Amino acid sequence: DGGITQSPKYLFRKEGQNVTLSCEQNLNHDAMYWYRQDPGQGLRLIYYSQIVNDFQKGDIAEGYSVSREKKESFPLTVTSAQKNPTAFYLCASSPLAEWGDTQYFGPGTRLTVL
């Protein structure tokens, strides 16, 4: 059963704490992405990675960090430096085919900072 999994579905954090969101895919996709979604706004790209051990900043990378040690895993750490971390976080992956780059999304993690 191929797909993208994100865990946990809901996450609560106290101010000042770092927290790591998990994203795993078994689709053998090369590229993985992290987005943040806030009410009434589109998705904003945080980080993306097209190959293992390499990743690039997106539009709103400040206060976040990622790693890509394995092709199937792309964890996102929300650090205490992120000023407004409460949001819905979506992970996606894509095969990087020459004919286009359809992205497939996980179910999301809702992070709430208390």
Partner 1 sequence: GEDVEQSLFLSVREGDSSVINCTYTDSSSTYLYWYKQEPGAGLQLLTYIFSNMDMKQDQRLTVLLNKKDKHLSLRIADTQTGDSAIYFCAEEAPGDDYKLSFGAGTTVTVRA
CB of 34 to partner 1, least distance (A): 12
Question: Do the Cβ atoms of 113 and 85 come closer than 8 Å?
Answer: yes
Q: Which is nearer to partner 1, 62 or 101 (CB)?
A: 101
Pairing type for strands 10-13 and 109-113 reads parallel
Q: Which is nearer to partner 1, 15 or 54 (CB)?
A: 54
Phi, psi of 11 (to 5 degrees): -145, 135
Binding site for partner 1 (CB under 8 A): 4, 6, 31, 40-43, 45, 48, 50, 56, 58-59, 90, 92, 94, 96, 100-108, 110
Q: What is the dihedral of CA 102, 39, 46, 26, to 10 degrees?
A: -40
CB of 16 to partner 1, least distance (A): 27
CB of 47 to partner 1, least distance (A): 11
Max Cα distance, the chain (Å)? 44
Q: Please tell me whether residue 58 adopts helix, strand or coil conformation.
A: coil
Q: Which is nearer to partner 1, 48 or 64 (CB)?
A: 48
